[in-house]
Structure 1
Amino acid sequence: MSAPGNGPAAVPAARRRPSRRAVRTGTVLASCLVLLVAAVVVAVRVYDREPTVTLLANWTGKDERAFREAVIAPFERKYRVHVDYQGSSAQSQVLSADVEAGTPPDVVVLTGPGELASYVAQRRLKALDGLVPEGGFSASWATPIDGHVYWFPLKADLKSIVWYPGDMTERQRRDAAGQPAQWCLGLGAGATSGWPGTDWIEDLLLQQSGWRTYDKWARGDLPWTDTAVRRAWTTWRDRVVGGGENERLVSRALETHYQDASGYVVKDPPQCSLEHQASFIGGNEDWKKADGRYEASGMLLGTGYSDAWEVSGDLVALLHETPAARQLIRYLASTDAQRVWSAEKSGFSVQADVPAGSYGAPGTQQRRLADTLRDPRAVHCFDASDAMPPAVRDAFALSAIDFLARPGDLTSLLKTLDTLRTDPELTWLPSVCDRAP
């Protein structure tokens, strides 16, 4: 600020106006400068942009949002790698089409080790040597093929269990287990309809005939027409649609989506009280409302308790190897990512370094589920249909639907499945259970 003057204000000297030519020249120079700056900005964005990794998984809607926020966003911030995520409930079909088109995602999450094994046979998957913690996952979760590991679970679930309302007594549960109308069942699941039925048949075979028979069957070495396999099918039919209410129960099972089956528990009056379903269903709002508890399936199916458990998981695999994709694989196998996502999805991590305390105090329901999944003394057998080649898996699921609708066709169904089993072009896993011979 200038000091106040004591006399008249000074008059500035007159300024010469610039010529039109000078104005035009300045304008042109300014425009060139603007264009140059823009070009530099674009160049920086092109040549210094974050690397991208493509990821295909089955989480959509609110699950996709949760996955992005809990798992993907921290990875992107920490490693400055952009994840181009695609979620689809029909990811198997999407992946197959992308592979055929020559545009597979870098990383994929699938529920089927049998499907992944077929991609190994086609030399589509990359071995994860050095990317997954050594000894981090047991053989039932990360099955070695030719000495290499090609996948690992991001989240795991326990399947050999039955859910019931918290106010049911033990006697009430035993009585209900013998009444087909008391079993909640929905076979609908879009492109994968029928799998809740295959879960029933698999678990019955495991509990009735033991893990060695189960493992042999799931690896394609036991005929579908074997007495033990047939017994599992007929036991399932008798449990869920036996008695005089056959037609009504069949219709209910065929017309209900598996995610809606739990809703029958909380209807007024309740229309069923027991559900043979994996541990993830405990997070369902209907089971929360019913104060859902679980019991080992053998105890309610009349086969007794055993240390053999059917399990499932969301498996991560690498199709296109880039530095960014390798970094994402390392991250998804890490303790932090495993703990965060399993907690977010009400599932479980079986990564050895994830502390058991992540699932609550000993004796709580979540902790007991986690302890069973991680118990080194138990036998963990991967979901058999998921472990089978895709053609057999899909035929099995459709056969479960057909069998409830036409139970008299069982012999024909099993012979057809056995014909598929003997196809020499199929790839079967070398083992399905932890203690496979």
Structure 2
Amino acid sequence: MSAPGNGPAAVPATRRGPSRRAVRTGTVLASCLALLVAAVVVGVRVYDREPTVTLLANWTGKDERAFRDAVIAPFERKYRIHVDYQGSSAQSQVLSADVEAGTPPDVVVLTGPGELASYVAQRRLKSLDGLVPEGAFSASWTTRIDGHVYWFPLKADLKSIVWYPGDMTEQQRRDAAGQPAQWCLGLGAAATSGWPGTDWIEDLLLQQSGWRTYDKWARGELRWTDPAVRRAWTAWRDLVVGSGENERLVSRALETHYQDASAYLAKKSPQCSLEHQASFIGADDDWKKADGRYEASATLLGTGYSDAWEVSGDLVALLHETPAAKQLIRYLASTEAGRVWSVQQSGFSVRTGVPAGSYGAPGTQRRRLADTLRDRRAVHCFDASDAMPPAVRDVFAQSTIDFLARPGDLTSLLKTLDTLRTDPKLTWLPSVCDRTP
């Protein structure tokens, strides 16, 4: 058979490399070696794989980085357990969707004990008995349901306070408190707009009517149309936008995100000077520049003195009892985790055993905030809206927005909340305020 084409037969070229058989043999050996190496790597990964625990929390951005560096990284190094962290400002919605889909995280951090109580009622949460040492937190932070503990605070904040610039005198603060334009207020939030308004109303009720009335209301035992509750709503509106129609202040409050409220303080000609906000706002850049100080809200909003304080917390709960998840719970509830978290400027640990010196010298601002949060002689009342069932909490938050926009609708708004309050399917906490001997 002749080669294709015309002309003389081609002369074979001289071989300069290995034979085809040698190439095939080398290729086969190389392939086998690659497969062997891959098998060894996979085997090492399988047999040396770190256990993993999934964690959902609300810290994102710089807060997430601080949490990872201060809390997660030391845990991973110490216990050889990987934490698969998901941060979301809408963690309630994310958790609800994950639970509905049957893929909830092992551990969750939520701000609402009322929401967690609803998961207890659904038998979604696991008891932390034996994982959180007895007495590690005061009873106001670890509400028992049917005799069991289901959550504890990793981070806490004080809420019954008002922030002001460091160069403001006491008399100037008193004068400013009576001028609606002097209150920095923004009701916007990513997933829960209106909550700054609920904080105002809750604290006014606490300071004006006392912690026992507050406790009954937050547990669903006091009508929303009760005069004490109504008085808190109207006092709030009178303070922040005035008793008359003030469209400019209403628009400013409704259109401003809560994190941007202090920006009005930082303008060349400041447009506000006081902010009713939790202790975390002290880390805000605008308040740092203003040498922000705080005083108890009772002196401006209430009777002048109160030993009852509204507080909030980021609460840790367990959904899956895996060994890795239980180890993470033990760690997060430890004095070690409380200590490393206490060095962060955005929050406080209320874990007993965390040295008071972690928060600075006696008398410094951060130390005073920490001492109030950790004072077992004081009455700590958990944020009422966070303690309420989610359905009530959400309508409460929206109602603060509606009330500023349409103050004449207050009676209707309160009656709607009362109708929700009596829904037998809702789960209310057995206690919200606590005085520990």
Query: Please, what TM-score do these two structures have when normalized by structure 2?
Result: 0.93
Which residue is 2:262 aligned to? Answer: 262
Residues 369 and 422 from structure 1, CA distance in 2 versus in 1: closer, same or farther, beyond 3 angstroms?
Answer: same
Which residue is 2:160 aligned to? Answer: 160
Deviations along 1:61-92, one digit per CA (max 9) or x if unpaired, are: 12112211221111111111111111111000
Which residue is 1:84 aligned to? Answer: 84
On the 8 A contact 2:376/2:435 being kept in 1, the answer is no
Letter in 2 for 1:208: Q
Residues 302 and 175 from structure 1, CA distance in 2 versus in 1: closer, same or farther, beyond 3 angstroms?
Answer: farther
**Distance in 2 between the 1:396 and 1:233 partners?**
11
How many residues are matched? Answer: 420
Alignment of 1:15-414 (within 5 A): 25=25, 28-243=28-243, 246-414=246-414
**Distance in 2 between the 1:231 and 1:395 partners?**
19
Which residue is 1:422 aligned to? Answer: 422
**Distance in 1 between the 2:189 and 2:283 partners?**
18
SS at match of 2:162: strand
Residues 26 and 177 from structure 1, CA distance in 2 versus in 1: closer, same or farther, beyond 3 angstroms?
Answer: closer
Shift of 1:306: 0.5
SS at match of 2:86: strand
Shift of 1:25: 5.0
Deviations along 1:22-64, one digit per CA (max 9) or x if unpaired, are: 7765664454233223212112212321111111011111211
Residues 425 and 347 from structure 1, CA distance in 2 versus in 1: closer, same or farther, beyond 3 angstroms?
Answer: same
Letter in 1 for 2:330: R
Deviations along 1:280-331, one digit per CA (max 9) or x if unpaired, are: 0000000000000000001011421100000000000001111111111111
The ranges of structure 1 where at least 4 consecutive aligned residues each deviate by more than 2 angstroms after the TM superposition are 18-34
**Distance in 2 between the 1:60 and 1:355 partners?**
28
**Distance in 2 between the 1:221 and 1:302 partners?**
23
**Distance in 2 between the 1:417 and 1:144 partners?**
26
**Distance in 1 between the 2:181 and 2:396 partners?**
24
On the 8 A contact 2:377/2:435 being kept in 1, the answer is no
**Distance in 2 between the 1:279 and 1:23 partners?**
73
**Distance in 2 between the 1:164 and 1:345 partners?**
18
SS at match of 1:129: coil
SS at match of 1:266: coil
SS at match of 2:304: coil
Q: Give aligned-pair identity as a percent.
A: 90
Residues 23 and 415 from structure 1, CA distance in 2 versus in 1: closer, same or farther, beyond 3 angstroms?
Answer: closer
Deviations along 1:118-155, one digit per CA (max 9) or x if unpaired, are: 00000000011111121011111111111110000010
Which residue is 2:5 aligned to? Answer: none
Deviations along 1:1-41, one digit per CA (max 9) or x if unpaired, are: xxxxxxxxxxxxxxxxx998677656644542332232121
Which residue is 1:8 aligned to? Answer: none
**Distance in 2 between the 1:229 and 1:419 partners?**
15
**Distance in 1 between the 2:226 and 2:244 partners?**
29
Residues 346 and 225 from structure 1, CA distance in 2 versus in 1: closer, same or farther, beyond 3 angstroms?
Answer: same
On the 8 A contact 1:106/1:319 being kept in 2, the answer is yes
On the 8 A contact 2:207/2:302 being kept in 1, the answer is no
**Distance in 1 between the 2:342 and 2:234 partners?**
35
- Segment drifting more, 215-224 vs 45-54: 45-54
**Distance in 2 between the 1:432 and 1:183 partners?**
28
Deviations along 1:362-419, one digit per CA (max 9) or x if unpaired, are: 1000011101011111000000000000000000000000000000111000000000
Shift of 1:240: 0.5
Shift of 1:263: 1.3
**Distance in 2 between the 1:126 and 1:243 partners?**
48
Letter in 2 for 1:47: Y
Unaligned runs of 5+ in 1: 1-17
Letter in 2 for 1:58: N
SS at match of 1:363: coil
**Distance in 1 between the 2:371 and 2:418 partners?**
36
**Distance in 2 between the 1:254 and 1:333 partners?**
38
On the 8 A contact 1:163/1:293 being kept in 2, the answer is yes
On the 8 A contact 1:180/1:243 being kept in 2, the answer is no
User: Over aligned residue pairs, what C-alpha RMSD do you find?
Assistant: 1.7
Shift of 1:230: 0.4
SS at match of 1:75: helix
Unaligned runs of 5+ in 2: 1-17
Which residue is 2:3 aligned to? Answer: none
Letter in 2 for 1:346: S
Letter in 2 for 1:204: L
Letter in 2 for 1:194: G
**Distance in 2 between the 1:59 and 1:202 partners?**
25
On the 8 A contact 2:342/2:358 being kept in 1, the answer is no
SS at match of 2:214: helix
